[in-house]
Amino acid sequence: MRDCRLALVCFLLLPLLPACSLVRTPQQTLEGFPPETLQLVRHQSAELIRLQNQTAATPAQQQLVEQLQRSLRQFERDVISNANNLEQQGDWHGAEQILQGGTRVLPDSLILIGARQALAERRQLREERVRMELEIHRGEQLLKDVAAYQRLKQLQGPGLLNWLELKNFHRKRRASAQALQEHAQRALEREDYSLAHRALTVSQGLYGDDLEQDHNLRAALEQDLALANSHLRPVKRQPVKRRLKQDQPVPVDKLQQALDTGDLLGAQQHLDQLQRRFPQHPELIPLQTRYRTQVKARVLTAIKRGNDLYSRGYIERALAVWREAKALAPENVELLANIARAEKVLRNLRALSKPPGTQPGQ
């Protein structure tokens, strides 16, 4: 009887037990990659870390390290390529999910971490532009309303117009003008001069007579407009030979592909070649900006990742991360200081590990 009661209690408590204790946890998946591939990549990453942490590697082990690195780089390129395809289709969330899944598989991948940061920056920039365009549209509509209210005021006279309605409209007008001015200042910072000019022009119209009373506001608007206009002025006519060279199509396919896949060293080579052939070509300017943005994100990620590894005692892995980033930013002071510090620590550790009486050169 006692056994029956115990069995009954267990049966009643069964639904309350954690599901993980009864149901097998499904494996994490990544769109476009079978689970077997993800498992292989994790195994390759662990093996690469083990080999890199060894003090001395044989030629066969060094060859294996290079093979593992090539295989993992290909996986990184495939992940970034899939994310770029989704981004081009407008599926920003899907692109983020792909890169996030890739970093779960390779949490130490600076390329994937940098790609996530670059995607976040592009997404933020796109959102800022869309919100700015919406604000410009609202401002342009308010400008039309300004003219309509002015005609209504002229028809009815100053005393007959609904004072509260007019006050509410002026409040919306000034709020829109101020929002457009703030949007324009951020657009100037990111060198989006055309959109900034549109916003400033609408903002100036919405402020209207307020600018006559606020001289500081008028001066700030005029200064921002002058900055935007200075970059939107037509370029002076160049000699015929020079102009013909500028009109030539620029082969930027390889450069764009390198930027899309996160191959910044390859992008640097392609960009240098194009700059030598087509100096100051307008088509290269946005690609230069994109390259600098990705390099900056990659270096910042490498510094943070290296610092984390260094603080946990993985000196050699931190040094490898910093050296890889140094190839992109050879004059970065923080990278150079971190590399020098890690190399000094490793030399001291090797000296301490030698048997007593060993000469420094031995």
| Domain layout of the chain by residue ranges | 29-108, 121-232, 253-352
**What mean pLDDT is predicted for residues 40-48?**
91
pLDDT for the residue numbered 357? 59
pLDDT exceeds 60 at position 10: no
Of 202-216, 231-245, 330-344, minimum mean pLDDT range: 231-245
pLDDT for the residue numbered 99? 92
Tokens of 2: 């006692």
Per the CB < 8 A criterion, the answer to whether 230 and 261 are in contact is no
The structure's pTM equals: 0.62
pLDDT tens digits along 185-236: 998 888 888 899 999 999 988 888 888 888 888 888 889 989 888 888 654 5
State what percent of residues in the chain have pLDDT above 90: 15
Tokens of 155: 């028809």
pLDDT exceeds 80 at position 343: yes
Per the CB < 8 A criterion, the answer to whether 245 and 60 are in contact is no
Beta bridge partners of 33: 30
**Any idea which fold 253-352 has?**
1.25.40
Q: Confidence band (pLDDT; 50, 70, 90) for 117?
A: confident
Residue 32 CA to chain centroid, in angstroms? 23
CA separation, residue 241 to residues 185, 245, 281, 283, 340 (Å): 38, 6, 14, 18, 50
**What mean pLDDT is predicted for residues 77-106?**
91
Torsion of CA 7, 9, 11, 15, to 10 degrees: -160
Mean pLDDT of the chain: 79
Tokens of 43: 């195994």
pLDDT tens digits along 153-184: 776 665 655 677 778 888 898 999 999 999 99
pLDDT exceeds 50 at position 24: no
pLDDT tens digits along 260-286: 777 888 888 888 888 788 776 777 777
Amino acid at the residue 159? G
**What mean pLDDT is predicted for residues 65-94?**
90
pLDDT tens digits along 123-138: 888 899 999 999 999 9
Q: What angle is formed at CA 192 by the lines to CA 203 and CA 218, rounded to 5 degrees?
A: 30
**Sequence-ordered alpha helix ranges (H) in 157-249:** 163-189, 193-207, 210-213, 215-232, 240-247
